[in-house]
Chains A and B, each alone.
Chain A
Amino acid sequence: MPASSRSRGVTTAAALVAALAVLPLVVVGVQASAGGPGTAIDFLFRPRVGELLVHTGQLIAVTVPATIAVGTLAAWLVERTDLPGAGWWRTLLLAPLAVPAFVSAYAWISLAPAMTGFLGAALVTTLAYFPFVFLPVAALLRVLDGTEEEAARSLGLGPLAATRRTVLPRLRPAISGGALLVALHLLAEFGVLEMMRFQTFTTAIMQQYAVGFSDTAGSLLASVLALLCLLVLTVEVVARGHRRVARVGAGAHRGAESVPLGPWKVPALLSLAVLVALALVVPLVMIARWLLVGTEAVAGEDLLRVALTTVGLALLGGLLTTLLALPGAWLLNRGRSALSLVLERVTFVASALPGVVVALALVTLTVRWARPLYQTVGLLVLAYAILFLPRAMVSLRSGLAAAPPELTEAARSLGARGPEAFVRVVLPQAAPSVLTGFVLVALAIGTELTATLLLAPTGAETLALAFWSASSELDYAAAAPYAAVMVALSVPLTLLLRRQILEER
């Protein structure tokens, strides 16, 4: 029957994509265990590995709580108090997302060269990553309406106690989700930590690779890194809990009354201003300064060529990622089945894999089995697709959810066949979200550094690569134009995310 063969096609496609998404994990695991348990134990139980573990742990232990505190407090000030200019603050607090973390590290290190080491790493990552917490918490604070707070007040609680006991518990999933993102980014971070000369697993793997490609050593480190990522993922699942946070019962949505800040207004404004100055103004001013210092450092046509290469890769990668995410997203929206459950878990796990692990796995595979593919555009784009598949999936799913099965059924009972119903009903509904997903992925690719360093074809230069080679040679002036273009290209990202907060309902 045509209907079932069609859905079988979609199912097969989704299963293949899921296999592709876990491929890096499998390759790294197999590679790491190839030397036998003895080699693995000898390698892993060295002081060096212990030191990497301590470094990584230290960074997570400081940056994650710091981003939670800064992000949540800022979100509460913007969304729930009578802070003047809340709309402007919302934009300014999301804007650091447009500055790639390694660009902001470059700004700080060129401002204060002595800032290397743990403190510099923690400061820069906190400033670069707090929007990951700010974004979901602010979005949720807008959705939660004030009725529960009012109920708590009428039961005799003061305003602070009411917030603590009704709002804070319900923010848990948003805070926990944001913190997960911060932790995973810390595990995957290469650029910032390399600049700050602070060694973690990712930087160690990259160095191992640069020194000489050793399958086993690299894969052993990578598999520890992957395990750490999975551990973080598990911790988050437990921390998030599964209590109901949505409002119970029907009735029109009503916004919450804003809390008057009173005498705290000036301190609140000042601390937000300091935050924005550190996270946004310092990087932008430093880029501008270096642009002015070295106007002749980069030829215009070089910049244009590199920018075009980057845009081309971003569009290609965005397209492939969106296409690959489509069957899975469609299947997941069709309700529960064994495969959709597996698919959901796989995407979830894949979302935790750092770029370095994915890239290393693809390098290993192609060097071993498909030499001609090594360092080709195709392989690079495939790595991007594996890396950003979960991101595309989120947008696609929400887009397809905008066209619930009832609408497809209505179309079919009006005589439209399956594909026709998809084109006339589902696609028009889903188009904005599909486009958003595509843009998000393309923008992420535009500033991707780690996987690109490992996989880019010889001679091909992206903005991130060009910036990286210039700044590694301490030629800050030559790096500035590339940084400026990356920031400029990332502005739409910030605007998209801002809209996401505003429209969340």
Chain B
Amino acid sequence: MSDIRISDVSVGYGATTVLDRVDLSVRAGSTTAVLGGSGSGKTTLLRVIAGFLRPTSGQVEIAGRTVAGNGTWVPPERRGVGYVRQEGGLFPHLSVAGNIAFGLPWPRRRHRNRVLELLDLVELPAHLADRRPDQLSGGQQQRVALARALAPGPDLVLLDEPFSSLDTALRSSTREATSRALRATGATSILVTHDQGEALSFADEVAILRGGTFRQVAAPRVIYGEPVDALVAAFLGDAVLLPGTASAGAVHCVLGDLPVRGFVTHGDVEVMLRPEQIVLTAPGAGQLDAVVRSVAYFGHDAVVELDLEAEVAVGEPPHGVRARVAGAQPPSAGERVGLAVVGPARVYPAR
């Protein structure tokens, strides 16, 4: 089966290192999202896998075949790797059908069946086959680009921020159609993105790329619930980070004594809670009381910034404790509330 194995891959231009001894394995038929900020090297990684860039060192193995490293180099056209970019990159001089059939062997290019099959796979109507790329919407262009990449039956499909140029509504529908098409063909895929929600909802595994190396590679639930360090926690989702002191299975911080999951140490630590772990109650009904400083209202939910009364009393600067509450009835600024912490905290060694 077509497992993808990237081992020890480095890429550098002169003195700058873009990828620093990167390892990544992708199980056949699964989707891995590579999540990173701009300049983290995520597109570079895709270009190495696709064969447009030679790594300075390391190996790339696709479906049990070494395509780079150990003195071998397989050019992009013989790798069987589909590539979908941010802007689609459709051939402007060819029709939709011409684009989709581009990678098929010559005798099969004329048959319309395969083109129609692929249009259907990406959930586009058959009558678009004779349109020109500039007559399509952005979402349709992306779907055609995906169909084009899937047409030759690649072992691996690379998706380079394929949804980021689309507007919100189009983005989720295109993403879902893409996901269904990939699953239907059983293709292995790697998605590069800077959108956390996209990474968490789209992929079987999420890999966090920062500063040229993978900080953590794990299933979405694991990576959100148990980030390996405070940087990953803050990068993926919202995190409340507080100083604290740990002792035997619990940690003491400004929110009181909290149970701890995972890594336990003694002494000064950094405590991480997700804002949705902080629940608002009536004043006096929770573990401690606070005053609402401000509310950011998003409709489906709201983020409430809190000043703890304990902090205010001693004149301590606020720690930025935030709660994420359901959108129906958010409190208003200045209101007194109680708060409680749900679930265990995670602690990291103090920085």
Contacts and interface: CB of A to CB of B under 8 A. Distances in A.
Interface of A: 1, 3, 406-407, 409-417, 421, 424-425, 428-429
A4 B152 CA distance: 26
Given A410-B91, A425-B91, A429-B93, A417 B85 contact: no
B91 A412 contact: no
Contacts of A407: 89, 91
Contacts of B149: 413-414
8 contacts: A409-B76, A410-B89, A413-B82, A414-B82, A414-B103, A414-B148, A414-B149, A414-B151
Given A1-B73, A3-B75, A413 B81 contact: yes
A412 B77 contact: yes
**Tier of interface size on chain B:** 20 to 34
A406 B93 contact: no
Contacts of B297: none
Given A407-B89, A425-B91, A413 B75 contact: no
B72 to A, nearest CB: 11
A421 B91 CA distance: 11
A48 to B, nearest CB: 56
B125 interface: no
A412 B75 contact: yes
Contacts of A3: 75
Nearest to B87: A406
Contacts of A409: 50, 52, 76, 83, 89
A139 to B, nearest CB: 22
B76 A412 contact: yes
B85 A406 contact: yes
B202 interface: no
Interface of B: 50-52, 73, 75-83, 85, 87, 89, 91-93, 102-103, 148-149, 151-152
A412 B148 CA distance: 12
Contacts of B83: 409-410, 413
A503 B92 CA distance: 17
A410 B87 CA distance: 12
Contact of A428 (B80, B89, B93): B93
Nearest to A410: B89
A186 B220 CA distance: 70
B50 A413 contact: yes
Nearest to A427: B93
B152 A414 contact: yes
Given A414-B82, A424-B102, 13 more contacts: A1-B73, A407-B89, A409-B83, A409-B89, A410-B83, A410-B85, A413-B76, A414-B102, A414-B148, A414-B149, A415-B103, A425-B91, A428-B93
Nearest to B93: A428
Give the one of A406, A410, A428 with max B CB within 10 A.
Answer: A410
Nearest to A406: B89
A1 B75 CA distance: 10
Contacts of A429: 92-93
Nearest to B154: A413
A252 to B, nearest CB: 14
Contacts of B73: 1
Nearest to B98: A424
Contacts of B77: 412-417, 421
A362 B151 CA distance: 56
Nearest to B105: A415
A409 B75 CA distance: 11
A416 B109 CA distance: 13
Nearest to B145: A410
A79 B268 CA distance: 70
A36 B89 CA distance: 60
A3 B89 CA distance: 23
Contacts of B102: 411, 414, 416, 424
